[in-house]
Structure 1
């Protein structure tokens, strides 16, 4: 299981509640810790004198009494998926490696491959995160560093979803011979997919849009990323999530047949770009830099969360200012990070080349 990590910075949402509403959240128990995912996600009504959460902004709601406030709900922090759908994703990663080996030899197991993750409309609930129950492999091209789904293929997937009463929950892809991490391209693709989805979860006063992102490699190693978009437009990001895997497994015979079916779909629907046996210097530089930056961002978020945990209890009145300063700090820091890591990568590649030449 991946370790759960909550991104604790959230945008101000005061303007969201300028409209009139008669809804009230009657969950007044603030003493006990939530025991289920649903309880963890639910925003709570609390009194102004109660100690405020450092991880989520407390907001005055005009429709509540003057001494009450509401807390923004947590981002969704678990990928819900059936055991069979999870196995399908891993088998997809294994099958693309086998296809590549059969075509170009044992040194060619480098190709990425892509699928959408879906659920049935009948299984979708508005008050609980949806569970992935199916994958759909679209027509696309695949190389060792990227996948590309054409406009025609996107339309085809939309027609399949509509005709078969499915809900698009996100995407999954293999990372070939790389580790599981979220590259800059992955993040951009995930945000684009979030815009194309229409699945929402309703938590108290909030209607939150969300999308799953999954990266895997053949040995079963996996990474989950969840984007949660609040009504104000803020996108919360939780990376390295836990996986809540549910339901029965395939029998040995079922798994064997399903693997062959997935392999046939890949051979039919994916245009493979032959991987380079010896990657170019530019590709190596890009891959190393992206992995460095991704790991750096992950540790930066950890440090920020630790900082939030140490804030004094009366920081609420200064929360917006503090958050704005942190966001400006992030911008300044990240504007130089990519250039710095590229320089480090160039030096690393040069050192590796000198080492290889000396052997």
Structure 2
């Protein structure tokens, strides 16, 4: 009996030793394969920087230019200029023939003219500036109300931007986690099978769950680092204050999403029999998840793609992160989304265990 307990203790210690050794090997993989690390981290960070830069470039100028046609009486133009804040609006007189062109070319946001033979004003603007058009038309039609008032009567409070600038952040985080699960994990598993590395496990008296557990733990640690980098980068680049509670909730939810992607990658890597054709399968699955899984398009809202989108883990992952980071109503209850991701992970690991083979063809 004592010999049996002693042998069991040695076996458990041996399993743990192999488990931690494989974790070290998984981390050393990135030293040998820098492309995988670039695909996992650098490319999504580059997208984040580009989106942030584009967001700031898309912010309109604070001064709104209004083109005033020569047909508008000088007294009406003077009333309009007095009523509007000079720090926010600038009026420019243009010939009647160039009025609409000034708006179409983007030189002015609004254009004002007086119809020939009438005393009726006409304002030209895009549909996005309808509110400004109503304001200008009201001032022109009510000159008595356009007299300047003391600046100290009222106050204007400029609110901090909410989560609007972060609209692309959940998709970028999930895209990175998807690359982590499919290419960094799944493709690596298939490559190790094809190169014969996993055949060494036949000589070890350890169950294969130690391999899967080590891969999962290693990639979850990397996923934690990725999520933290993206949240920190978005906060710095967009000057958005994310509360600690929101960041922790998003990180925990992201790890559950990453578990589903990692399990899916391992299942595909264990099922495929040829590495050369497997690379194309991973690319196809990646495109399917991104474009039909609500990452960049709401495929679950369209009747043609809804059935496919509801079967993909990215659909529920995107709904969770968008609800937490953007503070928008979630389309699915949390228990459904998290329950689906957990069940998907368990099913994928089961498929990997049933279809695992130590070798694969090049």
TM-score by length of 1: 0.21
Q: Which has the higher strand share?
A: 1
Greater helix fraction, Structure 1 or Structure 2: 2
